[in-house]
Amino acid sequence: MKRRRSREYALQILFQIDLTGSGFNEGVWNEFWEGNDEDTEVKEFTRVIVASTQEHITEIDEAIKKAAEHWSIARMAVIDRNILRAAAYELLYRKDIPPSVVMNEALEIAKKYSTEESAPFINGILDKIAHSGDKETATRKGKKSKG
């Protein structure tokens, strides 16, 4: 449950960053948590997802574009785009988290925060990313990743 909460918070922060174009910084981080006394473990995993997704955004968006045939990142709903980005980060750079867990979590979050059509759309893209050769390439590129 803690990781799910972290993923939901990460989605909210990534959504905010995407809409405002502000980038991830301490101001954004502190403002988000103002008045929210959340568990340290939840905050730490949230920070890893957000910071690492932002750090690798170019590679992540490229993997999403490749998997989302005929869809540009800009055409995707903001919420779906950011669910995909966070989940793609985990699929591409986190060997310690099974792809099935990442995909299930992304689908549950999509069902909660997005439209009925979003879950199959997100599932299809994440499945392609999980089974593509991009995972090895990204992992090699991301060896220095904090996440």
Q: Does residue 76 sit within a domain?
A: yes
Q: How confident is the model at residue 76 (pLDDT cuts 50, 70, 90)?
A: very high
Structural domain contains residue 72: yes
Confidence of residue 145 (pLDDT cuts 50, 70, 90): very low
Which pair of tokens denotes residue 136? 């090895």
Residue 147 lies inside a defined structural domain of this protein = no
pLDDT at 132: 87
**Is 64 a member of any domain?**
yes
On whether residue 146 sits in a domain, the answer given is no
Query: Is residue 57 assigned to a domain?
Result: yes
Q: Return the higher-pLDDT residue of 114 and 22.
A: 114
Give the amino acid at 15: F
- Where b means 16+ CB within 10 Å and e means fewer, 65-86 reads eebbeeeeeeebeebbbbbbbb
Look at residue 140 and tell me whether its pLDDT is greater than 60: no
Q: In this structure, is residue 130 part of a structural domain?
A: yes
CA distance 45 to 47: 5
Mean pLDDT of 19-25: 89
Tens-place pLDDT, residues 110-119: 999 999 899 9
Residues 6 or more apart in contact with residue 114 via CB below 8 angstroms: 77, 79, 80, 83, 122
Q: Answer whether residue 68 is part of any domain.
A: yes
Q: State the residue range of the domain holding 67.
A: 2-141
Terminal Cα-to-Cα distance of the chain (whole angstroms)? 19
Confidence (pLDDT) at 134: 55
Percent residues over pLDDT 70 in the chain: 90
pTM value is 0.88
Q: How many domains does the chain have?
A: 1
Tokens of residue 124, six digits: 């299809």
pLDDT at 87 over 50: yes
Which CATH number characterizes residue 32's domain?
Answer: 1.10.940.10
Question: What average pLDDT does this structure show over 57-62?
Answer: 97
Q: CA 114, 119, 124, 128 torsion: positive or negative? A: positive
User: In whole numbers, what is the pLDDT of the chain averaged over residues?
Assistant: 90
